[in-house]
């Protein structure tokens, strides 16, 4: 007979729990309790039900008043800016970045954002941290009159570190077809009005992080040009433009023809995509002073001007293409705005210049040049 031993199949199985695998359901429940009041504060009369449902419900009876309602949707994240928040253990502003990136992509077509949802993936649910993130999202939504109707927090142990997370969001808005803004409304002679950014917003942080790592600058380093620490400057939240643009459109109907949200790709690429074929946006570098964060980081990293202009907003957060006769009224209605340039017929004379950008972001549209 063989003396080979066999496992004892009658032994009690080893106990393995979800918590042992790294997922803390109770921490998720605590996070929801901590954020509930902030989320509820964004709810208006159109929100049906409260926090905690499987789906967010929004009453769209108002659409019956539209001649031809068009739904606008957008989704985005905040990129590697989350790494700065994690390094500083400060999480209450990243929500503004998320909301700005999402809802301001909706307002540019003239649509009013209605509601938003968020998604947070993390290595470990720390209830207070998740609540800080969502409170920031909720506060930004409230500032834009957007209802935060739902969200999800997912714990991914083994995939993300215990202090790592990423955020994403999606929103839906509505515009009547007659009020839709876009390239088809732009005309030669229109004026480009720029709205200031609050800083880096949420683009180009991979370049930023590379620069400060190579220079061995710590986030707590005081920078005289900023008047605060490097980390504080890098965490300045994205400005959310939705409320002021909603008010502008209502106050001056027809004054704005097209709008560009200056995000990834920089100024020229994002302006070119909101113009039609045959027109070019001629913008002047001398029309504004670039904020210190861009010059300090650019000089520190030896970043060429072309790369700076293709990566960062350089102080321009939005560009409004306005009818020439309405430009003064738009400037008066938008504090801090200035004339960035003008729209002209594209006769081909500029197309050979290095700064000429045409058909950017997959759009076979107009052109832009920054001179």
| Residues in contact with 145: Cβ distance below 8 Å, sequence separation at least 6, in sequence order | 44, 242, 243, 246
pLDDT at 2: 45
CATH 3.90.1150.10 assigned to 183-370: no
CB 202 within 8 A of CB 236: no
Strand 222-223 versus strand 165-176 pairing type: unpaired
- pLDDT at position 116: 95
CB atoms within 10 A of CB 66: 15
Residue-level pLDDT at 16? 65
Q: Provide the residue-wise pLDDT of the chain in tens; the chain has 371 residues.
A: 444 555 555 555 666 656 666 666 676 666 667 666 777 777 888 888 766 677 888 889 989 999 999 999 999 999 999 999 999 999 999 999 999 999 999 999 999 999 999 999 999 999 899 999 999 999 999 999 999 998 889 999 999 999 999 999 999 999 999 999 999 999 999 999 999 999 999 999 999 999 999 999 999 999 999 999 999 999 999 999 999 999 999 999 999 999 999 998 999 999 999 999 999 999 999 999 999 999 999 999 999 999 999 999 999 999 999 999 999 999 999 999 999 999 999 998 888 888 999 977 778 889 999 99
Superfamily of domain 22-51+66-176: PurM-like, N-terminal domain (3.30.1330.10)
Q: How far is CA 181 from the centre of its chain?
A: 20
Answer for the pair 123, 160: CB distance below 8 angstroms, yes or no.
yes
Compute CA distances 77 → 202, 207, 323, 332, whole Å: 9, 17, 33, 32
Say what the pLDDT of residue 6 is: 54
For the chain, the structural domain boundaries read: 22-51+66-176, 183-370
């Amino acid at each position: 007979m063989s003396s080979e031993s066999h496992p004892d199949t009658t032994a009690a199985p080893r106990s393995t729990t979800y918590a042992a695998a790294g997922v803390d359901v109770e921490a998720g429940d605590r996070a929801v309790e901590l954020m509930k009041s902030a989320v509820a504060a964004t709810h208006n009369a159109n929100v049906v039900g409260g926090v905690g449902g499987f789906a967010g419900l929004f009453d769209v009876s108002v659409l019956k008043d539209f001649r031809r309602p068009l739904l606008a949707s957008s989704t985005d994240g905040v990129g590697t800016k989350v790494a700065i928040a994690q390094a500083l253990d400060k999480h209450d502003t990243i929500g503004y970045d998320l909301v700005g990136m999402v809802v301001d992509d909706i307002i540019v077509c003239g649509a009013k954002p209605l509601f938003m949802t968020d998604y947070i993936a993390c290595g470990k649910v720390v209830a207070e941290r998740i609540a800080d993130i969502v409170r920031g999202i909720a506060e930004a939504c409230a500032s834009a009159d957007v209802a935060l109707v739902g969200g999800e927090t997912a714990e991914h142990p083994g995939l993300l570190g215990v202090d790592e997370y990423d955020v994403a969001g999606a929103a839906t808005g509505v515009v009547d077809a007659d009020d839709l803004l876009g390239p088809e409304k732009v005309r030669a002679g229109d004026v480009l009005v720029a709205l200031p950014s609050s800083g880096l917003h949420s683009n180009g942080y991979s370049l930023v992080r590379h620069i400060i790592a190579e220079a061995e600058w710590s986030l707590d380093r005081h920078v005289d040009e900023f008047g605060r620490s490097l980390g504080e400057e890098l965490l300045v939240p994205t400005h959310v433009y939705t409320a002021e643009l909603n008010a502008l459109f209502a106050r001056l109907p027809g004054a704005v023809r097209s709008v560009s949200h200056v995000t990834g790709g920089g100024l020229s690429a994002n302006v070119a995509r909101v113009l039609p074929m045959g027109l070019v946006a001629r913008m002047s570098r001398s029309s504004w002073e670039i904020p210190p964060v861009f010059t300090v980081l650019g000089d520190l990293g030896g970043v060429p001007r072309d790369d700076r202009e293709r990566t960062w907003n350089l102080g321009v957060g939005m560009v409004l293409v306005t009818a020439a006769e309405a430009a003064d009224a738009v400037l008066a209605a938008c504090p801090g705005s200035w004339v960035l340039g003008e729209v002209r017929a594209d006769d081909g004379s500029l197309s050979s210049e290095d700064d000429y950008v045409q058909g950017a972001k997959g759009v076979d549209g107009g052109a832009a040049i920054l001179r």
